[in-house]
Chain A
Amino acid sequence: MVAQLDTVDSPERRKLLGIWETAPGLYGWLASVDHKTIGIRYLCTAFFFLVIGGIEALVMRAQLAQPDLKLLSPDAYNQLFSMHGTTMMFLYALPMLSGFSNYLWPLMLGSRDMAFPRLNALSYWVFLLAGVFLYVSFPMGQAPNGGWFAYVPNTNLQYDPGINMDVFSLGLIFLGISTVVGSANFIVTLLRCRAPGMSVNRLPIIVWGTFTASAANLLAVPAVSLACAMLWLDRRYGTHFFDVPGGGQPLLWQHLFWIFGHPWVYALVLPAMGIVSDALPVFCRRPLVGYTLVAISTVATMILGFGVWVHHMFATGLPVMSLSFFSAASFVIAVPSAVAVFCWIATIWTGKLQFKTPFLFFAGFVMLFVIGGVSGFMTASVALDWQLTDSYFVVAHLHYVLLGINVFPVIGGIYFWFPKMTGRMLDERLGRWTFWTMFVGFNVAFFPMHITGLMGMPRRVYTYPAEMGVGWLNLISSLGALIFAVGVLLFLVNIVKGLRSGEPAGNNPWDAPTLEWSTTSPPPVYNFATIPQVASRHPLWESRLKESEERSVIGDKASDGMVLDKGKETIGVTPLDAEPNVVLKMPGDSILPFLLALGMAVLFFGLLSQAVWLMVTGVLCEIAILIVWLTPKPHPADEEVEVYE
């Protein structure tokens, strides 16, 4: 029942386009609330930060290539490693996944937009401005320099007197607003904005991943925002939360930070694992083995992820009994990961493979996931961790986890969905070169770090003596980092080439089963001419999989489904079974999100500079904009909300 939509140009479609299209010009650019535009902005901005963070890493690798090099001063090195961590953790890893989810969710779920489109735009603008905020002191040589973990008292004013850590603490509070707003939007979108029939057992796994991560973010991000607020108050207003002479507790910071930090790490990988769970099976020409197992293990990982934060604090002198509990919990959390790994391998094992670039990235990911997983298993052991923690072994582990489970699926995911986003294919040959360069470079850079760590090299050192005997290993790592960078460069070349002269993609170049592939590439602004009706987990494969007699309906005619063309409308459904029960009126273009984010930036720059007039201006702007935003608009009589029975 899937029509060839890319050729259709009907009066109905023209009407929908008129309703949904973003205004032209600069105003439209700033006021767009289209989830696809926002998603692509997220992807591009996050990738930009990945490149910045990568360049910082390359400079550090140059300094560490040999013992006793003096390329960087200790202060410059500390700023670089702090910004590298902050950038990758906060400005790349999660925003990148938010980009995928923003772009894909409504398309996968059969909706026309996210639940709160203006909130969606707000979350992007706040992310962008918070990123700028975090980098604003970089050119002045005053960038955050206490690590992305910012342990007190090293980051208290007494030991770190510049504005460095003010930028960090205020920047994270600022960025936290974006994360929380975005997460709330994802949760409501999942509960309400799906096509009829898209029940919870038919959701793509990336939806499970992002939903789980968003729920976790709502619980976790407030902890770090609070901790940062306390740090900033300690620094600038003389409170004593962490200030030792005033009776403050350094360990309080670590608890607050890691109660946030560990769930965050899972939030950075679960949606990426979802990318693999959804896209890998396409290249195996079969559905994912163990859909339910993978979905449950996603949720289980996140829940357990809230009970393991102390494994970052094994050496802080906590009682052995509590350490043992957290150590055991850290072993248990490997079980759901093992389930997922076996499911992916089984999918490949029973599949008929197509060795396209995305497949290479996903298969490589499985191996890196396992290597990062077993080194995590080693650090979960509290006794062994007393040796491993804060050594290069942990650097190796966390890069296998974060590059292996985030970057590789992300690059694979871009190869996979680029045709949908742009209507053009990426080059396959260049893609294979990209994969092998990145894969080899990655392993050459990070595998030796396990051994560097086992040989006793501590983390976060700007140099090391030759007698430590790790010079040659560091040299290998530095060369590997260079190779990896070449891989990223090849990827960028491929993107540019694809945009300029890529093969036309068509609606469904990979013959994939999910809803986003039923619409044109790139999709029209309203996504679907009629709201799809979903009858299975694989709407575009169901006639071949023959799992049931029911068939999804995706089409153009009014008989195919709801057209909803009396204004910007999409359908609202019941949370579990996806029974339609309300027509949702969606907001049009709005510059308010941009202005609200801008006002917030004014406020935060005011807080940073402690200029009262700037703070007051910021607050007044925010109040005014919120009044305009929240003022209800009168409904014309004919626009009463319809309720489906």
Chain B
Amino acid sequence: MKRLIAIGLTISLAGCSAPLSYLDATSPVGGSIASLGWGLTAISVGVCLIVGVLLLVAIWRGSPRGAATVVPVNDRAPIRWIGVGVAISTVFLLGSAIWTLVTVHSIAGSPRPAALSIDVIGQEWWWAVKYRSDDPSREFTTANQLVIPVDVPVQINLTSRDVIHSFWVPKLGGKMDMIPSRTNVTWLEADKIGDYRGQCSEFCGLQHANMAFNVRVMSQADFDAWRNQQLQPAASVAGDPRLRTFMVRCAACHTVRGTPAGGILGPDLSHFGSRETLAAGLLPNTPENLARWINNTQTIKPGAKMPELHMLASETADVTGYLEDLK
């Protein structure tokens, strides 16, 4: 048993390089949870080791020697030791409870006012992302990606359009459920520039497993540029012949700002070409994957709400080309 735990600990140390491992966090929230996590893990492993040793010694001591008759017992001494054990356990439990409550208090709200407010709306099985602003002309919608500036607190307003989902970016902080009819507010702050994977963590039906998104953390300057670029209408709008195919085959569900395509059932595709993934974090965003996705939706993500379109080769080329050009 001891050996198992030792192996386990080694593995968990090694595991920190995994994309979703939160013991190696890169945010103030993730960081204080991670230290709490390491602390409680240490206590837990310690308890297991102590009990394991006690148990082994007890078994070794009691190994059969001679007759095993039942004789009168006096349990005062063992009960005193039980008292000592329980007292020590209580001290550790109390300490852990206090540590927990202090941590919760410190991470429940952002210490500074949030610089940015973003709505994330969960739905079967993708994420709509709306950037809020005091100036309505600076608001816009994207999907399955969250781009935030480094080192500033960002307020995230969470809700759902259908069933309960849960918003989780392990390296940046804990989970918060997305519950229809309610808005749960959480906040993120990233210490380091980079990409972080997010994942739905409340069972939400057929494609719960493939409901992921990407968080890209940028410098403030890059972020401002990105935001301004997102606010522009999509690049190749005017008179693009491929738009016609897109309108016929895709626009009932999808929006591309600056074009007549205004469907709201599926993700907003304005600037689709600048996203890293498609199908809610399932595939890297390449023209080949996009073509495959359009024509084999239900094989790649069985149950997804997007119908399989079975486009002609020319249509597929039009739509993929058009979308990938929406930088």
Contacts and interface: CB of A to CB of B under 8 A. Distances in A.
B4 A443 contact: yes
Contacts of B62: 284, 348-353
Interface string A61-105: 000000000000111001000000000000000000000000000
Contacts of A159: 124, 162-163, 205
A377 interface: yes
Contact of B78 (A250, A289, A443): A289
A346 interface: yes
B135 interface: no
Nearest to A366: B55
A443 B48 CA distance: 14
Interface in A271-313: 284-287, 289-290, 293
B68 A352 contact: yes
A378 B44 contact: yes
A545 B93 CA distance: 37
Contact of A377 (B70, B93, B179): B93
Contact of A458 (B37, B103, B201): B201
Interface stretch (A116-124, A225-233, A320-328, A619-627): A320-328
A463 B282 CA distance: 12
Contacts of A348: 55, 58-59, 62
A513 B70 CA distance: 10
A455 B177 contact: no
Contacts of A371: 48
B52 interface: yes
A454 B73 contact: no
A363 interface: yes
A451 B12 contact: yes
B228 interface: no
Given A285-B70, A384-B40, A458 B200 contact: yes
A468 interface: yes
Interface stretch (B14-22, B140-148, B230-238, B266-274): B14-22
B68 A387 contact: no
29 contacts: A159-B163, A251-B179, A284-B62, A285-B68, A290-B75, A315-B166, A324-B101, A327-B97, A328-B97, A331-B97, A334-B89, A338-B89, A346-B81, A349-B54, A367-B48, A367-B55, A370-B47, A371-B48, A374-B45, A378-B40, A383-B104, A387-B170, A390-B202, A454-B23, A455-B15, A463-B209, A469-B18, A470-B18, A544-B69
B51 A366 contact: yes
B33 A387 contact: yes
A334 B203 CA distance: 28
B201 A390 contact: yes
A387 to B, nearest CB: 5
A508 interface: no
A462 B209 contact: yes
Given A370-B51, A458-B168, A381 B40 contact: yes
Interface in A321-363: 323-324, 327-328, 331-332, 334-335, 338-339, 341-343, 345-346, 348-355, 363
Interface stretch (A38-46, A146-154, A216-224): A146-154
Contacts of B185: 317
B136 interface: no
Given A328-B101, A381-B36, A456-B18, 5 more contacts: A75-B206, A147-B203, A284-B62, A285-B68, A465-B282
Contact of A381 (B71, B72, B100): B100
Interface residues of A, number: 98
Interface in B52-87: 52, 54-55, 57-59, 61-65, 68-73, 75, 78-79, 81-82, 85-86
B179 to A, nearest CB: 6
Nearest to A369: B51
Given A250-B180, A293-B82, A374-B44, A456 B19 contact: yes
B32 interface: yes
A450 interface: yes
Given A316-B177, A377-B44, A343 B209 contact: no
B1 interface: yes
Contacts of A154: 163-164, 203-205
B82 A346 contact: yes
A541 interface: yes
B179 A317 contact: yes
Most buried by B among A343, A383, A450: A383
B70 A450 contact: no
Nearest to A351: B62
Interface string A436-454: 0000000100011011001
Contacts of B205: 78, 154, 159-160
Given A153-B180, A381-B36, A544-B70, A447 B302 contact: no
Q: Ordered nearest first, which 3 A-B pairs have the shortest CB separation?
A: A456-B20, A386-B174, A317-B184
A504 B182 CA distance: 65
Given A348-B58, A544-B69, A383 B107 contact: yes
Interface string A538-552: 000100111100000
A585 B101 CA distance: 57
B251 interface: no
B60 to A, nearest CB: 10
Contacts of B94: 331
A75 B303 contact: yes
Contact of A151 (B41, B199, B203, B303): B203
Given A339-B86, A349-B61, A367-B51, A293 B179 contact: no
Interface string B144-176: 000000000000001000111010101001111
Contacts of B200: 458
Most buried by A among B12, B94, B97: B97
B11 interface: yes
Given A320-B105, A341-B51, A391 B73 contact: no
